[in-house]
Amino acid sequence: MLDIKFIRENKDKVKENIKKKFQDEKLPLVDEVVELDEKIRILKQKGDTLRQERNNTSDEIGALFREKKNDLANAKKDRVVEINKELVNIEDEENKLSACLKEKMMIIPQMIDDSVPIGKDDSENVEVERFGEPKVPSYEIPYHADICESLNGLDKESAGRTAGNGFYYLMGDIARLHEALIAYARDFMIDKGFTYCIPPFMIRSDVVTGVMSFAEMENMMYKIENEDLYLIGTSEHSMIGKFKGQLLDEKQLPIAMTSYSPCFRKEVGAHGLEERGLYRVHQFEKQEMIVLCQKEEAMEWYNKMWQYTVELFRNLDVPVRQLECCSGDLADLKVKSCDIEAWSPRQKTYFEVGSCSTLGDAQARRLGIRMKTENGNQYVSTLNNTVVASPRGLIAVIENNYQEDGSILIPKVLQPYMGGKEKIEKE
């Protein structure tokens, strides 16, 4: 959510930013919020004037009674009653307009960084850099679900009977490889100096609306019936929510945390669910990282964070690339974002395994997260990045380490988490 003062003083810039995101239907909101803000400020001014008059009149009433001028004093008391009624009406109107203003401001997108490429959707994202040499072996690599099933590691049919489409059973060494990947990612981030955390897996609605846009919430979140609770779609949400309403000391920053959680997503929209495989499912596990910092440090942290994901996948012998997200592919709260994509030797292309974003003070404004500085209280900047999400990370490891005999080589960094096992083979 932008600062209303910024919108008031930079209407044209805000409108241009909306155009860059190809959301022209939101352009009228800018003038609407400025008009609402003007009405609210007029009401506040009128209220302040009336309150001052009430205070002065109250002082006069006491003096008049002491002077035995009771009729005049009672007339003044009647005026105080009138003022109180006017103030109630003004405050009611002010609350209604303020609620309307906030609702509209929540829809206006965050100002994107000047470096963000302009494009309508993810098809216009820009490849920035590749890491590792993508290879295609001379032998055929089967579909990842078929590989897992051949190793007795996947059962989607039973999961369909148990929970429906979009769920799965992982078993045996495949399940163990999945957990090894998450455990390695945890220790990798701890070694980078991040504080490990296991957060709540459900969050309240005021946290949901604080960390994401309404459109994202509708397409992603599962609501708990008859409860003000949602299952998290990513642990970033509950991690940022940890600081809701807090006034932090400037010396506490930066705060860098890494979290584990299961994640739950509706996957509503054009992509849909994957019938056989594990790429797009309702439930997965994730190691995440978040940072709260000062505005001036945000871009430095952004570059550190996505590079950590690159380093982790290269340690797993998986080639990756960084894609800069274009303006039309940025969620409304994001200032700048990039995807990390892993190489698929089966498809001979890359697929998304993580996303890194800096959100400026958008989440902090919505959630009231500030820091105390010598120059007064200021909103912090927030960032988040996927360390690894599995099964997607699992798919990347399986495909890039699949052998002609149907076995999977276990990356060296994961072997300690698999009891020293070096290979997953057919029984």
Q: What does the pLDDT average to over 249-276?
A: 83
Tell me the longest C-alpha to C-alpha distance in the chain.
108
Give the whole-angstrom CA distance, residue 147 versus residue 162.
22
* Per-residue pLDDT tens over the stretch 141-175: 999 999 999 999 999 999 999 998 889 999 999 99
* Per-residue pLDDT tens over the stretch 358-380: 999 999 999 999 999 988 999 99
pLDDT reported for residue 275:
67
* Per-residue pLDDT tens over the stretch 2-52: 999 999 999 999 999 999 999 999 999 999 999 999 999 999 999 999 988
* Per-residue pLDDT tens over the stretch 69-122: 777 877 887 888 888 899 999 999 999 999 999 999 999 999 999 999 999 999
Query: What rounded mean pLDDT belongs to the chain?
Result: 93
Please determine, for residue 273, whether its predicted confidence score (pLDDT) is greater than 70: no
pLDDT reported for residue 272:
55
- pTM to 2 decimals? 0.89
Domains of the chain: 4-105 (1.10.287.40), 122-424 (3.30.930.10)
pLDDT reported for residue 311:
98
Q: What does the pLDDT average to over 302-311?
A: 98
pLDDT reported for residue 271:
56
* Per-residue pLDDT tens over the stretch 183-236: 999 999 999 999 999 999 999 999 999 998 766 777 788 999 999 999 999 999
CB 258 within 8 Å of CB 221: no
Residue type, position 304, single letter: K
pLDDT reported for residue 79:
83
Stretch among 6-20, 140-154, 271-285, 331-345 having the lowest mean pLDDT: 271-285
CA atoms lying within 13 Å on the CB side of residue 68? 0
pLDDT reported for residue 218:
73
Strand partners, 324: 126, 338
Tell me which of 422 and 61 has the higher pLDDT: 422
266: nearest Cα among 339, 166, 355: 166
